[in-house]
Homo-oligomer: A and B are copies of this chain.
Amino acid sequence: MSEPTIAVVGATGTVGKQVIASLMQHDVEPDQVRFFSSERTQGEELDYQEETLPTEPPREGSFRDVQAVILATPSPVARELALDAQRSGAWVVDLSGAFRVDANVPLVAPGVNDGVLDRAFSGRIVSIAHPATQTLLATLGPLRAKFGLAFADVTMLFGASSRGNQGMEQLTKQTAGLLNAKDPDIEVFPHRIGFNVIPAVGGFEGGLNEGERHVLVEAARIWSGEALPALTATALTVPTYHGLTMVISAHLNRPVDADGVRALLKEDTALKVIDDPSQNVYPMPMLSTDDVAPHVGRIRAAGPRVQLVVAVDSVWRLADTAVDVALELADRS
């Protein structure tokens, strides 16, 4: 069998660019990739290894010779293209969350529900869990397995990259403006994000914003069938670019101490424990860049209560997971 071809849709976006970086890291050859973007950015060219590759809007039949399509687009676009691609016989790896509640579509969180792709499912569409969900469940997983998890509350600090390229450009523009005493234009975020904190990530429904809904809905789905610990989430946007910071407060079924929690999390090779506060060593979004592993630190515990801080390069985590899954699925073709 020849090497599979992987298509990336939304290739010029924040997540798409990281997907492409991950494809290069996986040594996927230039003739095995196809890049698609919206009408708006069509014609833009992207460096890939030694070559410069074109992008084009996806059209009827675009995915005919492709084994896996990675959708790094907004949800409505993903919903439409996923069905097209599936009809063409390609595997579809959706990063948009469009299918996160679809019982026919496996929801993948590596290190959390490994093996989910080996169970029977009807279509060829696979949904990658939001990186916040992946990170939260990957961190709580070992605690839950060993001590039992009663419930947890998580505060999530998203950077401007949660709104893609536009979000990051807005942060730069507003910040530069504010440093020059200029009133900022409000476009991508509902309020000024430069030097501010907005307790919102995406739109609200039923009192919860999109960032919170993603995590709560996906965690419930991934944890279902097992004794389901109760979870609450608060998502805020802070003036950083990449990276997601979480403060997790968990209540276990048995008392623990910080050393025990630290030792347990250190055993988990999917996590990096970075925890020596007196030496100014702890997780920070700045340090987690380009690392797929969540950085865990500021571990405190008393009785059954545990607090910790987690930082993760959420965009890289999402992109790299997508490429792993796409390559695995493409091999099945």
Contact = CB atoms under 8 A, between A and B. Distances in A.
B238 A239 contact: yes
A198 B274 CA distance: 13
A241 B241 CA distance: 18
A175 interface: yes
Nearest to A190: B280
Interface in A241-256: 241, 243, 245, 247, 249
B278 A204 contact: yes
Contacts of A239: 195, 238-240
A135 to B, nearest CB: 15
Total identical chains: 2
A88 interface: no
A72 to B, nearest CB: 23
A171 B179 CA distance: 11
Interface stretch (A38-46, A58-66, A281-289): A281-289
Contacts of A151: 305
Interface string A181-217: 0000000001110011111100010011100000000
Interface of A: 151, 153, 155, 157, 171-172, 175-176, 179, 190-192, 195-200, 204, 207-209, 230, 232, 234, 236, 238-241, 243, 245, 247, 249, 258, 277-278, 280, 282-286, 297-298, 300, 302, 305, 307, 309, 311
